[in-house]
Structure 1
């Protein structure tokens, strides 16, 4: 008798494990970079929609009636003492997107925001659209806080790398202890000290406003010099505290790298210490700092509101405080939407750029 092989049963696993040869999945498997970008961008859109939705419902559920605030403002400014009629109130509610139930308000708001970029009228500058009020304040915030954040990051990265590289030295210990003591001091507290010293005691720098009111705004040397003079104190308060924070984080990343074998090998080859620091040690430290800096750019005006208030600086922080005081929901939502968009966009760009900066970061498969 001859033994026969047992019959085999086709389970279809070969078809499941085999990669597709055509269609979207096949194209994405052949282009991992594009597949990674598409997946990440889709996740970005979902996160953006969810964050904007939460912000809308959060502010619309706040107590208070912005229409009554507007009516009171009109009465004060235009000596309008008559009781506003129901028709006028209804027209204002429709104009500000406050008529109907909460769901209908949300749908109308998202439709205007997505299709037209319209936030509705601003209560603090009625009938000017809220997006125009925000766009007038946005360059001041970017010019002051954005540049200050970049300077603080560059200085903190450089000084932190030196402090970690020369750990144990007197200068490194002094810098580290100062950073620990001052990195968590609020911006506005440092701003108050700077104002007292340089504005009131010495009289070298102005204490309030963004430029000299006697100079016409424009691209003239006088106006640019006035901008730098008036922005020095608020910018310096942000740069000082921000720099100390970046020094600590960079030093923390630098110290564990110093014992790596590739640094010992580079030193044995006779490379100069400065070259080893900048080309080898610092290269493995700045990648996490790039990620942290990109995220922090989305918060350039969060936490610095009091600095703008203290110096009467016409930025987004001042606009936000004024809008909250008058229950201007459209302007509040607009500023919040910009913050949400900035943070999520910064994270998206970092996720797309980090695999190009560091080959150890792999794309999704």
Structure 2
């Protein structure tokens, strides 16, 4: 009886030991809980995306068959084994729950999204990773520049509220912050590409060049990416300016700012060390979430400039019902957004002492 009681007490002791250890290490406990929630969210989002795209009407195999028949590499009178082979290769055989289990096995265990209809039989992940650097280079750098300049401009607009320059900046942002990226891109293209002829209107680099890491090719990439980048940065600055100013103005009436000014601190130090520090934390969170959406690409801007990014690849994949490529882009976007949130949840307590790991 004593041995049986000891065996029953061992699991309870282990559970108690884990709780004690987590109580002594709140950072580790917080990270483990947050990572577990991250995995559940990732699984749930991928599951919803899978069933959503599988319920869309249409047959990608018939689309592939028609494409092969047009290129005279497939005989429409061939046996049904060919169609069965393609269905198995694309993960479309069996019922939808069998397809879901096969999809999870390939994505989670094998890291394989299957072949892509966009460039059959190239794997979907290869098509995506071929376009991803262009989107990250264009939208990633543009988002960072827009956030930095918008944060600084919004802080100055709030700090110097009531002055002509600050009011002009605020009113201009209110008027232009909701202008779509592609509308400004059209204006810039008309002026600088077609009227003045200073910058190219379409493409990612000079078609006469071979992609390589040399100054000439890098200069061509920067030249071709200038117009789409400027259209994204300018509109983004206006949006970040307004949100930062909205956060800055209520902070200016706090007692600790009055105390800092009464101590004789320079206005620049009061702005950067006291006022701005309490304003940029929500902006850091918003910026991290916006970085996750970069993986979707800015579809309209990339279409307008014929830029070979994720957005253009996604539009082509949806048009021909390429589920593997669409799911790959969607999974990458989900992973980016949730990972950005996870990193922010782990970093924010170190940026703001008011945020506690154990709460």
TM-score by length of 2: 0.94
Aligned 1:13-162 pairs, distance under 5 A: 22-78=16-72, 80=74, 82-162=76-156
- 1:87-142 Cα deviation digits (max 9, x unpaired): 11000000000000000000001001111100000011100000000010111110
Partner of 1:234: 228
- How many residues align? The count is 347
Displacement, 1:85?
2.4
Distance between the aligned counterparts of 2:338 and 2:295, measured in 1?
15
- 1:140-169 Cα deviation digits (max 9, x unpaired): 110000000000000000000000000001
Alignment partner for residue 270 of structure 1, among 252, 264, 287? 264
Distance between the aligned counterparts of 1:84 and 1:146, measured in 2?
48
State the secondary structure of the residue aligned to 1:127: coil
Cα pair 1:99 1:105 within 8 Å, conserved: yes
**More displaced stretch, 265-274 vs 63-72:** 265-274
State the secondary structure of the residue aligned to 2:294: coil
Structure 1, unaligned runs of 5 or more: 1-18
Displacement, 1:300?
1.8
Q: Which aligned runs of 4 or more in structure 1 are off by greater than 6 angstroms?
A: none
State the secondary structure of the residue aligned to 1:299: helix
Cα pair 1:134 1:335 within 8 Å, conserved: yes
Displacement, 1:264?
1.1
Partner of 2:342: 348
How large is the RMSD of aligned CA atoms in angstroms? Answer: 1.4
Alignment partner for residue 208 of structure 2, among 194, 214, 224? 214
Distance between the aligned counterparts of 1:308 and 1:301, measured in 2?
13
Q: Which has the larger radius of gyration?
A: 1
Distance between the aligned counterparts of 1:267 and 1:274, measured in 2?
11
Cα pair 1:20 1:26 within 8 Å, conserved: no
Partner of 2:174: 180
Cα pair 2:295 2:336 within 8 Å, conserved: no
Structure 1 residues 206 and 157: alpha-carbon distance in aligned structure 2, compared to 1, 3 A threshold: same
Distance between the aligned counterparts of 2:178 and 2:78, measured in 1?
50
TM-score by length of 1: 0.93
Distance between the aligned counterparts of 2:36 and 2:18, measured in 1?
15
